[in-house]
Chain A
Amino acid sequence: MDIKNQSTPNQFMLNLEYGVTLSFSSISNSFTMGDNHTKRNNKGINSLNMSLKCKFSELTDEEAAGAISFLQKHYYYEPQIYNNAGKFTNLDLTPFEFNGGILSPYKTNLKYYCFNFTHEKTYHNCNDINADFVCAAPSILDSVEPKCDYEPRIFHGILDNPVIGSSDNNQSVSIDFNIPSDFDGYLNSTKTLVNKPIFESGSYRTMYPSQEVNLSDGGTYSNDMFARFGFNSKTILTRSDSRNSIFIDDPDDVYEYPFRQIYEDSEGATATTKYKIFDHSPSYSLQIQHSPKYRHSNVLDFYKKFSLYGFNPNLNNLSLEFSNITDEEAKRILLFLESHLGSQKFGFHPPAPYNNSEFSTVNTSPHRRNFSTFICPEWSHTLIYKNNNTINATFIECVRF
Chain B
Amino acid sequence: MKFLMYEDVPLFLGPASKADGNEGDFIFAADASISISQPSVPRRSIDDNKIRICQFNNGGTYPFASPNFTASSSHTACFGPTSGPPKSLSTSIYKIPKDTKITFPGGKHLYFDHDVFPNGYDYLARLRSESGGWQLSESEAQSGYFEPIFNYAAGGPAAGTLDVTFYTNTGNLPSFFNVTGMSSPTQFPPIDEDKITGHLGDFKFSDAYLKSFKFSVSPNSIVAASASFDIYGALVKDETLSQNYYSTGLYQQKSIAHGETSTIIGTTKLGVDHAVSFSYGIDVERSARYEIGNSIPTRVSKRATTITMSINGNNLDPSLITDAVDNRRANINIYLRDLNYDNFDENSNGLLNVFNCSGVVESQNLSVSSNGYLNGSISIKQHLK
Residues of A within 8 A of B (CB): 15-18, 20, 56-61, 103-104, 122-126, 168, 197, 199-200, 202-206, 228-229, 257, 261-264, 268-270, 273, 277, 279-284, 286, 322-326, 328-329, 332, 347, 349, 351-352, 355, 357-359, 369-371, 383-388
Q: How many residues on B have C-beta within 8 angstroms of the other chain's C-beta atoms? A: 64
* Residue in B82, B84, B126 with the greatest tally of chain A CB atoms within 10 Å: B84
Chain A residues within an 8 Å CB radius of B62: 262-264, 268-270
Q: Is the CB of B44 within 8 A of A262?
A: no
- Nearest to B42 among chain A residues (CB) is A324
Q: Is the CB of A204 within 8 A of B155?
A: no
Beyond the given A197-B119, A277-B87, could you list 12 further A-B residue pairs with CB under 8 A, ordered by the A residue number? A18-B292, A56-B289, A57-B287, A123-B301, A205-B124, A262-B84, A264-B63, A281-B90, A283-B45, A369-B83, A371-B85, A388-B41
Q: Is the CB of A388 within 8 A of B154?
A: yes
Min CB–CB distance B201 → chain A (angstroms): 29
CA distance A351 to B92 in the complex (A): 15
Chain B residues within an 8 Å CB radius of A269: 62
CA distance A384 to B189 in the complex (A): 33
Q: Is the CB of B82 within 8 A of A357?
A: yes
Given the known A-B contacts A123-B303, A228-B114, A370-B82, are A384 and B63 also in contact in the complex, defined by CB atoms under 8 Å?
no
Min CB–CB distance A369 → chain B (angstroms): 8
- Nearest to B138 among chain A residues (CB) is A357
Q: Is the CB of B291 within 8 A of A349?
A: no
Question: In the complex, which of the residues A203, A284, A347, A358 contacts B60, with contact meaning CB atoms closer than 8 Å?
Answer: A203
Q: Is the CB of A15 within 8 A of B154?
A: no
CA distance A204 to B87 in the complex (A): 10
Residues of B within 8 A of A (CB): 41-48, 50, 52, 57-64, 76, 78, 80-88, 90-92, 114, 119-121, 123-124, 126, 138, 142, 153-157, 189, 191, 287-293, 295, 298-304, 385
Q: Is the CB of B41 within 8 A of A324?
A: yes
Chain A residues within an 8 Å CB radius of B124: 204-206, 228-229
Min CB–CB distance B123 → chain A (angstroms): 4
Given the known A-B contacts A261-B86, A270-B62, A357-B82, are A125 and B291 also in contact in the complex, defined by CB atoms under 8 Å?
no
Q: Is the CB of B84 within 8 A of A16?
A: no
Q: Is the CB of B301 within 8 A of A125?
A: yes
* Residue in A263, A352, A369 with the greatest tally of chain B CB atoms within 10 Å: A263
Q: Is the CB of B153 within 8 A of A388?
A: yes
CA distance A386 to B155 in the complex (A): 9
- Nearest to A320 among chain B residues (CB) is B46
- Nearest to A359 among chain B residues (CB) is B83
What are 6 A-B interface contacts by the 8 Å CB criterion? A123-B304, A200-B58, A203-B57, A262-B84, A358-B82, A358-B83
- Nearest to A283 among chain B residues (CB) is B45
Q: Is the CB of B84 within 8 A of A58?
A: no
- Nearest to B157 among chain A residues (CB) is A385
Given the known A-B contacts A281-B47, A387-B154, are A125 and B83 also in contact in the complex, defined by CB atoms under 8 Å?
no
CA distance A71 to B315 in the complex (A): 60
Chain B residues within an 8 Å CB radius of A204: 58-60, 78, 86, 123-124
Min CB–CB distance B22 → chain A (angstroms): 28
Q: Is the CB of A103 within 8 A of B155?
A: no
* Residue in B48, B59, B299 with the greatest tally of chain A CB atoms within 10 Å: B59
Question: In the complex, which of the residues A197, A325, A369, A385 contacts B155, with contact meaning CB atoms closer than 8 Å?
Answer: A385
CA distance A123 to B191 in the complex (A): 13
Min CB–CB distance B266 → chain A (angstroms): 28
- Nearest to B152 among chain A residues (CB) is A324
Chain A residues within an 8 Å CB radius of B289: 17, 56-59
Chain B residues within an 8 Å CB radius of A203: 57-60
* Residue in B47, B78, B289 with the greatest tally of chain A CB atoms within 10 Å: B289
CA distance A384 to B142 in the complex (A): 34
Given the known A-B contacts A204-B58, A264-B63, are A229 and B46 also in contact in the complex, defined by CB atoms under 8 Å?
no
CA distance A369 to B157 in the complex (A): 43
Chain B residues within an 8 Å CB radius of A197: 119, 121
CA distance A56 to B292 in the complex (A): 11
Q: Is the CB of B85 within 8 A of A370?
A: yes
Q: Is the CB of A20 within 8 A of B58?
A: no
Min CB–CB distance A127 → chain B (angstroms): 9
Q: Is the CB of A277 within 8 A of B85?
A: yes
Chain A residues within an 8 Å CB radius of B50: 352
Min CB–CB distance B95 → chain A (angstroms): 15
Question: In the complex, which of the residues A279, A282, A388 contacts B87, with contact meaning CB atoms closer than 8 Å?
Answer: A279
Chain A residues within an 8 Å CB radius of B119: 197
Given the known A-B contacts A125-B189, A385-B156, are A228 and B126 also in contact in the complex, defined by CB atoms under 8 Å?
yes
Q: Is the CB of B87 within 8 A of A349?
A: yes
